[in-house]
């Protein structure tokens, strides 16, 4: 068995649900799959001495899960005052409207179609609820509407699907773009270097204790995959499906459809830069 401390980002062992930092509690949604790993992480954020909480990514439209999130907050003496979305994929956002109905909250997101209420989210926004401070970080790439939330008091960042607790994420072409994603990873690296972020609270998988190590691993992985795709094209593998079969031969075939999205994004990036 591999020591978790030797893995990229130093994933935290143990049960995923429960307290993760002084201000963050995870409630794991019951939707495990090859794409969602153990399931979607729904985050409850609150100052320790406050009776107000923010929930990030209520998750799928699963009434039992949504009520469990509300109950977890209430048992801690918290009332959910606001709902936030990292992006619009159903495993993160499908339950948001129902959750808003259960809690009487507004839903804030980058995509206007996902909002309930007048306020959206934009770069530089600072969200303050019950003394809790969250800073909105635009992180397009996985999707065009992807956001991360910087939690300065815990030296942490909530990354949605931009950085996962295990493995790597998909650049969901055509909405997701590789150039944007590489810029996003560099932006997150600056948070780890300049702003003291050391903990990743991901949308799937375990908490990562080494945020900088995780981001550096992602950057290296993307560079490696891009080089592999370029070599595959030079060897005559032209279609996305052919490139996937060549480059991802050692990956579970059930993940090939998702891998093809990333390959399409990589091919687009290589064409834009005149490399193929």
Catalytic residues: 91
Alpha-carbon span 188 to 263, nearest angstrom: 23
- 3-state class of 116 per DSSP? strand
CA distances to 204, 224, 252 from 220, rounded to whole Å, are 21, 6, 21
d(CA 86, CA 54): 13
Whether 45 contacts 54, CB under 8 Å: yes
Token pair for 2: 């591999």
C-alpha torsion sign, points 19, 20, 26, 31: negative
Q: Position of tokens 């998988």?
A: 205
Q: How far apart are CA 148 and CA 238, in angstroms?
A: 35
Token pair listed for 62: 């699963």
> Using CB atoms within 10 A of its CB, is residue 125 exposed (0-12), middle (13-18) or buried (19+)?
middle
Rg of the chain over Cα atoms, rounded to whole angstroms, equals: 19
Please state, in angstroms and rounded to a whole number, the distance separating the CA atoms of residues 15 and 3. 16
Three-class DSSP category at 25: strand
Q: Map tokens 């279609």 to a residue.
A: 239
């Amino acid at each position: 068995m591999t020591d978790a401390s030797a893995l990229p980002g130093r994933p935290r062992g143990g049960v995923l649900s429960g307290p993760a930092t002084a201000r963050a509690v995870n409630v794991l949604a019951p939707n495990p799959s090859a794409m969602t790993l153990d399931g979607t992480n729904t985050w409850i954020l609150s100052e320790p001495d406050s009776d107000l909480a923010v929930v990030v990514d209520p998750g799928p439209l699963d009434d039992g899960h949504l009520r469990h999130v509300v109950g977890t907050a209430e048992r801690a003496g918290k009332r959910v005052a606001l709902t936030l979305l990292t992006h619009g994929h159903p495993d993160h956002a499908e339950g948001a409207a129902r959750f808003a109905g259960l809690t009487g909250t507004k839903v804030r997101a980058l995509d206007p179609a996902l909002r309930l209420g007048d306020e959206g989210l934009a770069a530089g926004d600072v969200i303050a609820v019950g003394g809790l401070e969250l800073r909105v970080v635009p992180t397009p790439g996985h999707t065009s509407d992807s956001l991360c939330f910087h939690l300065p008091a815990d030296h942490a960042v909530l990354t949605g699907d931009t950085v996962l607790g295990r493995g790597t994420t998909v650049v969901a072409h055509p909405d997701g773009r590789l150039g944007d994603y590489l810029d996003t990873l560099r932006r997150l690296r600056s948070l780890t270097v300049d702003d003291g972020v050391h903990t990743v609270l991901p949308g799937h998988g375990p908490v990562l204790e080494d945020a900088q190590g995780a981001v550096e691993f992602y950057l290296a992985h993307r560079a490696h995959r891009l080089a592999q795709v370029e070599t595959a094209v030079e060897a005559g593998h032209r279609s996305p499906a052919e490139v996937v079969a060549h480059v991802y031969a050692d990956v579970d075939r059930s993940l090939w459809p998702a891998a093809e999205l990333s390959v399409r994004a990589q091919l687009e990036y290589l064409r834009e830069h005149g490399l193929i």
